[in-house]
């Protein structure tokens, strides 16, 4: 399996609190534990895995853009130039696994970033969002995702990685 099969794992807001946040819903496994297990699994599948977590919608959008080889947005107040910045934006990933957290239910921006880059993605949720509050039942991403996995706890990440590594064609 070629090393060009590069997968980006994105985790959205509050997922950095896994392991301590509402353990009756999310369990006791930390995000670090999930990322370490995913790295081991990715290696066994012949995949290169990069992980990213942010509580900020714009940072997630910028990271999706970078994954497709686009330069990130300049910081607020920075001058915008039309010259290419060598070395910036060269990364290309084959697929994205994303747990958008609360942005699942609110972010047209993340949806548009995923659609605009044409990178296939799998949506993951630790809890069963359909068994929770009504506002969590709608996802702005699900209708465009290759697959949606929810309610499997941390195993959902493993299932997503297995699916990407063994069943998606790049």
Lowest mean pLDDT among 75-89, 105-119, 155-169: 75-89
Distance CA 130, CA 118 (A): 27
Segment 140-165 shows an average pLDDT of 96
* pLDDT tens, position by position, 55-101: 999 999 999 999 999 977 666 766 554 444 444 555 799 999 999 99
Residue from 26, 103, 140, 157 carrying the catalytic annotation: 26
Tell me the per-residue pLDDT of 41-60, one tens digit each, with 9 for 90 and over: 999 999 999 999 999 999 99
Q: What integer pLDDT is reported at residue 1 of this predicted model?
A: 38
What are residue 112's phi and psi, to 5 degrees? Answer: -65, -35
Average pLDDT, the chain: 87
Q: Which residue, 93, 105, 89, 102, is CA-closest to 141?
A: 105
Distance in angstroms (rounded) separating the CA atoms of residues 128 and 141:
16
The answer, yes or no, to whether residue 164 has pLDDT greater than 60, is yes
pLDDT of residue 104: 94
The token duo for 151 is 């309610």
Active-site pick, 32, 65, 103, 125: 125
- Beta pairing class for 95-99 and 121-125: parallel
Question: Residue 30: pLDDT above 80?
Answer: yes
pLDDT of residue 86: 41
Can you list the alpha helix ranges (DSSP code H) found in the chain?
A: 23-26, 31-44, 57-67, 108-117, 155-167
| The predicted structure's pLDDT at residue 41 | 98
**Quick check: is 125 catalytic?**
yes
Q: Is the pLDDT of residue 33 over 70?
A: yes
Comparing 45-49, 63-67, 123-127, 136-140, the range with the smallest average pLDDT is: 136-140
Which residue numbers belong to the known binding site for substrate? 99, 105, 112, 126-127, 136
- What percent of the chain clears pLDDT 70, i.e. is strictly above it? 85
- Closest to 154 (Cα-Cα) out of 37, 34, 38, 44: 34
Highest mean pLDDT among 11-20, 36-45, 127-136: 36-45
- What pLDDT is recorded for position 129? 76
Q: Confirm if 112 and 123 have CB atoms less than 8 A apart.
A: no
């Amino acid at each position: 399996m070629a090393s060009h099969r590069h997968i980006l794992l994105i985790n959205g807001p509050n997922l950095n609190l896994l392991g301590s946040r509402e353990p009756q819903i999310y369990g006791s496994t930390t995000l670090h534990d999930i990322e370490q297990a995913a790295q081991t699994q990715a290696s066994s599948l012949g995949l290169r895995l990069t992980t990213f977590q942010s509580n900020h919608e714009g940072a997630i959008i910028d990271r999706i853009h970078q994954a497709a080889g686009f330069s990130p947005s300049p910081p607020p107040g920075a001058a915008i130039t039309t010259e290419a910045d060598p070395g910036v934006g060269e990364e290309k990933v084959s697929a994205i696994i994303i747990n958008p957290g609360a942005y699942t239910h609110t972010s047209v921006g993340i949806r548009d970033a995923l659609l605009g880059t044409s990178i296939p993605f799998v949506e993951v949720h630790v809890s069963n969002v359909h068994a929770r509050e009504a506002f969590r039942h709608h996802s702005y991403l699900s209708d465009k995702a290759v697959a949606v996995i929810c309610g499997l706890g941390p195993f959902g990440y493993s299932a997503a990685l297995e699916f990407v590594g063994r069943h998606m064609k790049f």
